[in-house]
Chains A and B, each alone.
Chain A
Amino acid sequence: MERDELGFDAPAPVGHPVRASMPEDAGTGPAIGERLPDFELPSTLGHPIHFHAHRGHSKAALVFYRSAVW
């Protein structure tokens, strides 16, 4: 495995787009203090989820990850 400039090893060559770091000027979505945009998506609960309606009055962690497959 090849090690990148941040010291991480991965099973893809350095320079491959799958290993690209997030640029410093990349937007990272809603800022602290903003309301999370609402959305509706299929879910593993067996029915679609409307985010804020499903959340109700609870705090939440919304986790974006790359893939469950690879």
Chain B
Amino acid sequence: MSYDDLETLDEFATAQGIPYPLLSDIDSKVIRQYGILNTQISEDDAFIHGIPYPGVFICDEQGIVTAKFFHDSYKKRDSPENLIDAAMGRIHIDQGAARVTGGEADINITATVRGGRGSLRQGIIRHLVLRFQLAPGLHIYGEQVPKGLTATRVTITGPADVRTLPARFPPSAPLRLPTLDMELQVWSGEVDIVLPFSAAGALATEAHAPTPPHCQLEFEVAYQACTELECLLPRRERFTLELPVDVVDVPNLGVHRGHGQREGQYDSTPAMRRLLWRKVRARPLGLVKLIWKTFTLKVGNALRRRESG
């Protein structure tokens, strides 16, 4: 759903081969009804006024929200595969995706990236999936653990321009050990831990094609496996996955062309004219104010950069 007109959406769906319905919320009525109008943008900001904070709602068969995805930066968008996993309530591991294995006897660890066949793009959120397969009788721990035990943690240590979101863990089971006066949270059997992450900075930028077009994702997994009677030594394992770095999809519009990104299948200049006409008709001075604001910001930022040397 967007505030674009239907003619634009029909062109877009045909040119980009989109099989699902696109909805035209031309006056941002539903965007406002849902309470997600971007209020950082004023009515004086001409054609950009009326857009939502981008995000996704997943609902069940009764229309009840079971998951939602909204982020601070508009650049952060969730991969379609991760939306499907949220809707289906399970994680599908791509058999063709790059993977790395680890663990020890009775504990297998498989690490892979879910989304975009493991490729990184600016802002697009992929899922690092750690699948533990524990032999019967063994469990690993969630937080909080007493001193001497190691909770299960996964951390991305490189490259530097990777941004992570909080890790997601499956529901745990309580375990009360006779020797400890506290309830621990444990997992056993097959355990999927997900660490959402995205690429930013020089690693994946809209300014130019990625150089180089691949990176080494480095991550560390800490855990400790125990039976009800005894524990194995805590482990800290390091892994590396080579992942391709890809460009982002941008509209085929003057401001986006020529930066080495993947430009849309059709020229959206006529659609832009329709949008400008629709918004300028409602608020004639808005476009002038927006152009002036853009110009003064560019000049101001350039002067500040020069001053800071």
Q: How many Cβ-Cβ contacts under 8 Å join chain A to chain B? A: 224
Q: Hey, what's the 0/1 contact readout for B1-33 against A, CB within 8 Å counting as 1?
A: 111101011101100001001111110011101
A40 CB to closest chain B CB, in angstroms?
9
Main secondary structure of the interface of A (DSSP, over half): loop
**Quick check: is B271 within 8 A (CB to CB) of the other chain?**
yes
Per-residue CB contact flags for chain A residues 40-56 toward chain B (1 = under 8 Å, else 0) read 01111100010010110
Contact, CB under 8 Å: B72 / A64: no
Instruction: Count chain A residues whose beta carbon lies closer than 8 angstroms to a beta carbon of B.
Output: 59
B60 touches A70 (CB 8 A): no
Alpha-carbon separation in the docked complex, A56 to B55 (Å): 22
Residues in A with CB closer than 8 Å to B181 are: none
The answer to whether B233 has its CB under 8 Å from any CB of chain A is: no
Interface residues of A in 7-39 (CB under 8 A from B): 7-24, 26-37, 39
Measured between C-beta atoms, what is the minimum distance from B288 to chain A in Å?
15
Query: Could you say which residues of chain B place their CB within 8 Å of the CB of A13?
Result: 294, 297-298, 300-301
Q: Which residues of A contact B (CB under 8 A)?
A: 1-4, 6-24, 26-37, 39, 41-45, 49, 52, 54-55, 57-70
**Can you show 27 pairs from A to B with CB atoms below 8 A apart?**
A7-B200, A9-B207, A13-B298, A21-B40, A22-B70, A22-B72, A22-B74, A29-B57, A31-B68, A35-B59, A35-B65, A37-B34, A41-B24, A41-B25, A42-B24, A44-B21, A44-B22, A57-B61, A65-B1, A65-B2, A66-B51, A67-B2, A68-B8, A68-B22, A68-B268, A69-B271, A70-B253
Q: With A3-B205, A55-B63, A59-B61 given, can you name 15 additional A-B contacts, CB distance below 8 Å?
A: A9-B205, A11-B206, A15-B301, A20-B38, A21-B72, A32-B67, A41-B25, A44-B6, A61-B56, A64-B1, A65-B2, A68-B9, A68-B22, A69-B253, A70-B255
